[in-house]
A and B are shown apart, each in its own frame.
Chain A
Amino acid sequence: MSSQRINWYKYAAPANFYPLAGKMIPWFAVLTALLFIAGLYVGFFVAPTDFQQGESYRILFIHVPAAWMGMFLYVLMAVYAGIGWAFNARLASMMATAISTTGAIFTFISLVTGSLWGRPAWGVWWVWDARLTSTLILLFLYIGFISLQSSIDEPRRADRAGAVLALVGLINVPIIYFSVQWWNSLHQGATITAKSFKMAPSMLASMLILLAACWMYSIAVVLVRVRYIIREREREAPWLAEAVA
């Protein structure tokens, strides 16, 4: 194991990471496509119809992975931003910026699909259920991070200010989730939740395959975005001219 140590520091420099990312993107893109096809196939043709909710429950196959991704990516973003700030590692900060957009999109997708699922299940488009509400707040946190970074012109300040905000958000997320849970339990709103139906193994399989697909998609897209950010920030660096040509 230790005989083949990879020199991570080497790839922490944008100049070395840029071509590496370029090589990795196609692989992750192919994996994304394969996993999506597999997951959707299992979801639509293998998983049985739910006796309680009929066919409409199938939207959960995308809703649940999207919601998970929204949360994972927020944590990942905060960790990257924190590393970038603490160790003055530019690439990590760029990763955080690249992740933020993808995370916000997943959170948004999970809100929209949640509301689409809720229409037949609850009879209304939106209920202030604990999970939907905290997802909405998570989206607000992403929006705050993205708007703060985009209104700062100096990249170094943008990276570090974003890191402070992301870490403060990370400390707050559990408190916010807890307070929303508490608030919801007192104002008894929704009766059906995503948990209340029994999952067949094929349903779980579809959900997990699609979760993997979402991961691969996120990695591919984040790498593409990081390459754009590197190109923008290092436009005066001589290595970039060679790499692009």
Chain B
Amino acid sequence: MLEVINLSCVRGTRRLFTALNFAVNPGELIELRGANGSGKTSLLRILSGLATPAEGEVRWAGKNIRSLGEEYSGTVAYLAHQNGVKDELSALENLRIACGVAGNDLSKVDARAILAQVGLSRQQNLPARSLSAGQRRRLALARLLTSKATLWILDEVLTSLDDTAIRLSRQFIGGHLNKGGMAIIATHQELELSADRMQRIELSK
């Protein structure tokens, strides 16, 4: 489904990676590893369509994602370093507004159910400003759960999560893969996921 062809990325005068090739098919997981500054985030941003590569292309179902545009955005969920959480809004508002803006309206009841799933039931009406780093990450995870995307692109998904939340996110990712979804995950921690087909890509410095 997703093909990466001869991809290279340049930051300033520095070449982060060259001639990168791989493919992801339904049910597959890619674990992306590499030291700090090796270009993991840059690669994920290119894959999500936010950044353009210096050379090469990314194809979705055989077509360049540049030409697909918004059609591609609908199939991708990107969880970045930053959680994309608004401080002034409550957890519930954050979730419902994020979904509404993305075009899949979420009722209050459904939103509460999903917040309960990530363990934010008690905090649902607190402004996000008062949430801890881990709780904000959980909120970002909740947004991921509501998306209908088939391709999950996750940057350091496990950072600042506690043991329960880590177990939870493994469970979510596993469930997503079982349903035929795809995931590309940059991480420093062990994912300990038992996907049927898993590739590990190591970016060297």
Contact = CB atoms under 8 A, between A and B. Distances in A.
Direct contact between A and B in the complex (CB less than 8 angstroms)? yes
Main secondary structure of the interface of A (DSSP, over half): loop
Nearest to B11: A154
Contacts of B13: 233-236
Interface in B11-48: 11-14
A120 interface: no
Contacts, number: 9
A235 B13 CA distance: 8
Interface in A136-191: 153-155
A102 B13 CA distance: 26
Contacts of A233: 13
A230 to B, nearest CB: 12
A206 to B, nearest CB: 47
A73 B14 CA distance: 32
A238 to B, nearest CB: 12
Nearest to A88: B52
A25 B66 CA distance: 40
Contacts of B11: 154
A61 B11 CA distance: 47
Nearest to A234: B13
Nearest to A236: B13
A154 B14 CA distance: 11
Contacts of A153: 12
Contacts of B14: 236
A145 B14 CA distance: 26
Contacts of B12: 153-155
Nearest to B13: A236
B66 to A, nearest CB: 11
Nearest to A154: B12
Contacts of A236: 13-14
Nearest to B14: A236
Nearest to A153: B12
B17 to A, nearest CB: 16
A236 to B, nearest CB: 5
Contacts of A235: 13
Interface string A219-245: 000000000000001111000000000
Contacts of A234: 13
B16 to A, nearest CB: 13
Nearest to A156: B10
Contacts of A155: 12
Contacts of A154: 11-12
A127 B11 CA distance: 49
A82 to B, nearest CB: 17
A234 B13 CA distance: 7
Nearest to A160: B52
A233 B12 CA distance: 8
Nearest to B12: A154
B26 to A, nearest CB: 33
B19 to A, nearest CB: 18
Nearest to B10: A156
A156 B124 CA distance: 42
A228 to B, nearest CB: 15
B35 to A, nearest CB: 20
A210 B13 CA distance: 41
A151 to B, nearest CB: 15
B37 to A, nearest CB: 15
Given A154-B12, A236-B13, A236-B14, 6 more contacts: A153-B12, A154-B11, A155-B12, A233-B13, A234-B13, A235-B13
Interface of A: 153-155, 233-236
9 contacts: A153-B12, A154-B11, A154-B12, A155-B12, A233-B13, A234-B13, A235-B13, A236-B13, A236-B14
User: Which 9 A-B pairs give the minimum distances between C-beta atoms?
Assistant: A236-B13, A154-B12, A235-B13, A233-B13, A155-B12, A153-B12, A154-B11, A234-B13, A236-B14
